[in-house]
A and B are shown apart, each in its own frame.
Chain A
Amino acid sequence: MALTQSDIDVEVNDLQTAYDKARAAGAPAQNHPPRDYAPYRSSVLRHPKQPLVAVNGGDPETIELSGPVFGPTDITDTDNDLTIQHQGEPLGERITVSGRLLDRDGRPVRGQLVEIWQANASGRYAHLRDQHPAPLDPNFTGVGRTLTDDEGRYAFTTIKPGAYPWRNHTNAWRPAHIHFSLFGTAFTQRLVTQMYFPNDPLFRYDPILRSVTDESARDRLVATYNHDLSQPEFSLGYEWDIVLDGPSATWIEEGR
């Protein structure tokens, strides 16, 4: 029998209650989702059951403390404007999304690759396997890339993606989101995540967002509407800063 939203809600709420209780009893905050989160059904057979093995990041020979680099040859001029990649204008609400890419000490990550992908305004990906019967937009692919500047800043012009259904359970809908892929100065800082839009009524029903059981961590996935970033007669502005986790070699250099 297919799972209903209320079946999933029960599981999500049980895990939320267990997390909140553990926190109240002094357990540390979890900044990331557990890999094993049953309400997200695809995780069940795809998470390791053995504990992760710790590698001492203090060893400067650890290869993962360095990481891939990218440069101006890796992007083109139209890569950070998803609205000009075709002959015509895409449908939907034009937005600009910008923010800074930082490490946990607040230092900007400069000249690194930021990649995004997203559904179109009606909630359809330009991907063959997306069977959602919403219209494709011939003027929107939904893929962007950019390099961060000297302050770690990135900016994209795009359209606001639509919510879309998926098959986790009956009547499962993802809140509108933009997928982000980020590199730090070290491979250990690698991050793939999703940015959400403020006040989406679907937040509470989505087991992917709710897999981040720490409420303040969840809030860090939601962009802020910033009127000063809106461009007159053109676009609405959203601001979203991204903080990379994980050790990097610069920590060692600066006296660890």
Chain B
Amino acid sequence: MSETLLPTPSHTVGPFYGYALPFPEGEQVAPKGHPDTIALHGYVLDGEGNPVPDAILEFWQAGPDGSLKGAPGSLRRDPVTGGFLGRNGIDFTGFGRVATDADGHYALYTLPPGNAGLPYISVCVFARGLLHHLYTRAYLTDGADPLLDALSADRRATLVAAEEQNRTYRFDIRLQGEGETVFLEFQ
């Protein structure tokens, strides 16, 4: 297919998105109190292993039924006060947005993705210092997968979240250096 227009270049999210992009319950993708809720959490680290406290992560995934339709209502607003109402607790929007805390830590609460093949959550990383966002994937189990199978063992390991206790998965993102996370480009 012919591409006729040239794209608008990317720019860094900068340091001051904090009062604009995060929204209450951005990390609560699972309906409140849903018994199948899993937690995906970890640290974002720079090339010296230091935490990145000003990163913001976005997550996109299939619903538990495998649906990729998503739903509106991630940022559900109150038309009277202009504030945030929080999600409606029914619709699974498939979208999460979480800023890292002062320790570079994030946590996402969601339902297990029901996509075909190995279940994974797509992750998009923005940060001060990052002129163009980065994509990666948090696979919840290891196994046969065209992307994983093409990687060396140590690189592959960076994409597979480690299952901890209580439906909790650990997924660190290393932007540079030893154990650097595999980042993706889509063609």
Taking beta carbons and an 8 Å cutoff, which residues of A are in contact with B? Answer: 31-35, 37, 40, 42-50, 52-57, 59, 61-79, 85, 102-106, 113, 115-117, 119, 125-127, 129-130, 141-143, 145, 179, 181, 187-188, 190-194, 208, 211-212, 214, 216-218, 220-221, 242-247, 251, 254-256
Contacts and interface: CB of A to CB of B under 8 A. Distances in A.
Contacts of B94: 68
B151 A212 contact: no
Contacts, number: 255
A63 B20 contact: no
Nearest to B95: A68
B175 interface: yes
Majority SS at the chain A contact face? loop
Indicate the size class of the contact surface on chain B.
35 or more
Interface in B1-48: 1-21, 46-48
Contacts of B9: 31-33, 193, 212, 214, 217-218, 220-221
B132 A188 contact: no
Interface-centre pick from A106, A193, A255 (highest chain B CB count, 10 A) = A193
B8 A243 contact: yes
B64 interface: no
A62 B61 CA distance: 10
Main secondary structure of the interface of B (DSSP, over half): loop
B1 A244 contact: no
B11 A104 contact: no
Nearest to A181: B21
B124 A187 contact: yes
B183 A104 contact: no
B60 A63 contact: yes
Given A68-B60, A254-B1, A127 B18 contact: yes
A68 B132 contact: no
B157 interface: no
B182 interface: yes
